[in-house]
Structure 1
Amino acid sequence: MEYIQQNFNVNFSYGVFFSSHLFDPANNCLATFLESKAEDAYVKKLLVVLDGGVAAHHPQLTQQIQQYFRQVKGFQLAPEIITLAGGESVKNDLPLLFSLVDAIDKYGIDRHSYVIGIGGGSLLDMVGFAAAISHRGVKHIRIPTTVLSQNDSGVGVKNGVNYKGKKNFLGSFAPPAAVFNDPVFLTTLDARDWCSGMVEAVKVALIKDAAFFERIEATAVAMTAGDMPAMQELIYRCAELHIQHIGGAGDPFESGSSRPLDFGHWSAHKLEQLTNFELRHGEAVSIGIALDSVYSFLLGWLSAPDMQRILTVLKNMHLPVWHPLLEKQGDKDSPVIAGLEEFREHLGGRLTISLLRAIGKGEEVHQMNLDLLYQAVDICKNNQ
């Protein structure tokens, strides 16, 4: 037998920038980044895809973007700023995905140019995937505009769309060229999006940083009421922990089945699907965190007071800890709990679920006791 072995490493590096009033002409944060990537020999192109909800709440934004990029040397903005409706529906619309691919083709966005997504996590997921499948990978820049995308999805390496009712069934690992977090965009969020975005910080604190959880616990009521400095502190630390995990865990593209950052997500993904995405992602994750925290308590891993602390923090953030779909439906299993096998397929490999040994310390298991799960459901129901 003859055989040739190929081995190589690909280095990925990107920055997450925190800067207020990003498109103010006096703010050179984004311009400096782009100009550092300019080439003397030719002009690179920029295609901006904007969340329609963001555009509606910031009516001068489109004009500000156009004016801002006129001053950036070495780059030319495409003549159209594409505005799309945001929210989960954008990830359920394959024709919309391919219309964006068509725009990348129409405006000559090559692999040296950039697609810039401005919006919530769903829009950024779709834009990143469109860029990833065009020309085998066009560079993309993310400008997240929600709490959830600034502290979690927008700073990671994943993107994708839903297919056949399955969350992120189509997708890729395509790191952004850069991420720019501007707190001004958070000022126009509605209460549900403001609150639900905080849950990813609760998640990462519970599995990685007990001191961070204590800080969240102390400020949860104030943040829920709109304390922006506390929110910015939460976003920064949450993003930092996510970045550290992605780069430091040795599996940034999740080739194995271990996914501790999915704590609380196995049931959340199914809840989103079953409610036709009426539940916000963060709301579904809150329920999932509550369920898995109570399950950890029933295993004897988590103390009763710590379990109650977690539920109290979630409720102080005005987030749910239970949903009727967690219960058995007549003589049939809960459709959420029946989704465990679907989650295993999503992981690719054996079932791996993150639970809590203690606040700040996650641990993985490879099976779930259904009797204990239903007990956990009852406890969540009684604590809602």
Structure 2
Amino acid sequence: MEFLKPIRQRFAVEYDYTLHFTQDVFGADNPLLYELLKDYSSQGKVKLLAVVDDAVSQAHPDLSDKIAAYGKHFADNMVITEVLVVSGGEKAKVDTAHLNAVLEAIDGNRICRHSFVLAIGGGALVDMVGYAAAIAHRGVKLIRIPTTVLSQNDAAVGVKNSVNIFGKKNFLGTFAPPFAIINDSDFLTTLEKRDWVSGIAEAVKVALIKDATFYGYLEANAKALARREMEPMQYLIHRCAELHMQHIAQGGDPFESGSSRPLDFGHWAAHKLEQLTQYELRHGEAVAIGMALDVTYAHLIGMIDATTLERIKTTLTDSGFELKIPIEKGQEDSLLVGLEEFREHLGGELCITLISEIGKKVDVDTIDKETMKKAMWQLNQWS
């Protein structure tokens, strides 16, 4: 019977997005955002809703006025409908009130699928606003303007958006590439030291799994980075973001349908440590500890030698990280729960990225928990 035969179709969707580098993005003499919108549409004015991290707003008290003035200066092709200031940091992803506030603003400002949401803030704020943009009208246009090292080199340059729920990090989320990302180095100048240092972890991560030459640069410049020297930081951000975006585009699995997640190196422990410390640990601080733990484990199982282990731990500490795991004796199992939660997050099969040498990753599907416990206390004794 003809009407019982299956019907199949196949289609592909092409994505194209660009990471731009600038200074003073909302200065009247900076046409970058104007040009992006001009290239998007010749149909008249485009509406924009700006959502700003409250910490960024406090550090740059004139920012809301500058955004409004920018809209007026380029009024021929844009309308800034509102500048909404909401909480940043991990609380932006934990408390649904912030997500609801963005969704209400999208609705109240009549932001449609041909309008734009500007997400201006750190990685958590960008994650949350990106999720709101992705689910409103099944997707409104998003431009990310990340303001921290971690968001400029990692969190904002990918295709993921998320919020936390059920006590689990990134449990709700989408894969939705932004229209564009704009890195403005001026925002880095007002960062707290912890936020400056925190983002270095993601650069060390991607260097360890992909680029030994880049790792050598980070190793040689670790103390300069800790001193907040801008030139090495700008190179770090550019190269880290480049490697991240190459992985998404050329890795063959941009929406993570498989189990291998090399960009999550060090993250199974990091996500759990964030939760166990009530998010007192910054994400990058937790990733640094997670990487140090996993390379200690890799050494214990004979995957890397002692010299490599020492180099990595020294690079992290020289960059400004504290590597002591914030758990007491007897609490090891509370951290190891993170392995099971990570397995669930991957889709049922455990796949942990380790390294066999600097610049070369290895995926393993089993972790010996007793050896991992030994790694925890060896790392803490070293710290």
8 Å contact 2:37–2:46 — kept in the other structure? Answer: no
Q: For 1:3-152, what aligned pairs fall within 5 Å after superposition? A: 3-40=6-43, 42-72=44-74, 73-78=76-81, 80-152=82-154
Aligned letter for 1:163?
I
- 1:166 matched residue in structure 2: 168
Shift of 1:22: 1.1
Q: For 1:222-241, what aligned pairs fall within 5 Å after superposition? A: 222-241=224-243
SS of corresponding position for 1:81: strand
The answer to whether the aligner puts 1:211 opposite 2:210 as a matched pair is no
- 2:267 matched residue in structure 1: 265
Instruction: Return the alpha-carbon distance in structure 1 between the equivalents of residues 324 and 274 of structure 2.
Output: 13
Instruction: Return the alpha-carbon distance in structure 1 between the equivalents of residues 316 and 295 of structure 2.
Output: 12
SS of corresponding position for 2:333: coil
- 1:316 matched residue in structure 2: 318
TM-score by length of 2: 0.97
Instruction: Return the alpha-carbon distance in structure 2 between the equivalents of residues 69 and 155 of structure 1.
Output: 25
SS of corresponding position for 2:221: helix
- 2:288 matched residue in structure 1: 286
Shift of 1:325: 2.3
Please say which of residues 371-380 and 244-253 is displaced more in the overlay.
371-380
Shift of 1:374: 1.5
- Number of residue equivalences: 379
Match of 2:185 among 179, 183, 204: 183
Shift of 1:326: 7.3
Instruction: Return the alpha-carbon distance in structure 2 between the equivalents of residues 247 and 349 of structure 1.
Output: 25
Change (3 A) 1:164 1:371: same
Shift of 1:375: 1.8
Shift of 1:133: 0.5
- 1:341 matched residue in structure 2: 340
User: What value does the CA root-mean-square deviation take over the aligned residues?
Assistant: 1.1
Structure 2 unaligned spans of 5+: none
Aligned letter for 1:350?
E
Aligned letter for 2:376?
V
- 2:374 matched residue in structure 1: 375
Structure 1 unaligned spans of 5+: none
Instruction: Return the alpha-carbon distance in structure 2 between the equivalents of residues 58 and 111 of structure 1.
Output: 30
8 Å contact 2:50–2:119 — kept in the other structure? Answer: yes
Instruction: Return the alpha-carbon distance in structure 1 between the equivalents of residues 280 and 54 of structure 2.
Output: 19
Instruction: Return the alpha-carbon distance in structure 1 between the equivalents of residues 229 and 326 of structure 2.
Output: 32
8 Å contact 2:259–2:350 — kept in the other structure? Answer: yes
Shift of 1:99: 2.0
Instruction: Return the alpha-carbon distance in structure 2 between the equivalents of residues 379 and 367 of structure 1.
Output: 20
Per-residue CA deviation, residues 136-193 of structure 1 (Å, 9 max, x unaligned), is 0001000000000000001000011000110010110111000000110000000111
Shift of 1:196: 0.9
8 Å contact 1:86–1:122 — kept in the other structure? Answer: yes
Q: For 1:293-304, what aligned pairs fall within 5 Å after superposition? A: 293-304=295-306
TM-score by length of 1: 0.97
Per-residue CA deviation, residues 14-71 of structure 1 (Å, 9 max, x unaligned), is 000011111111111121111111233x432100001111111111111111111223
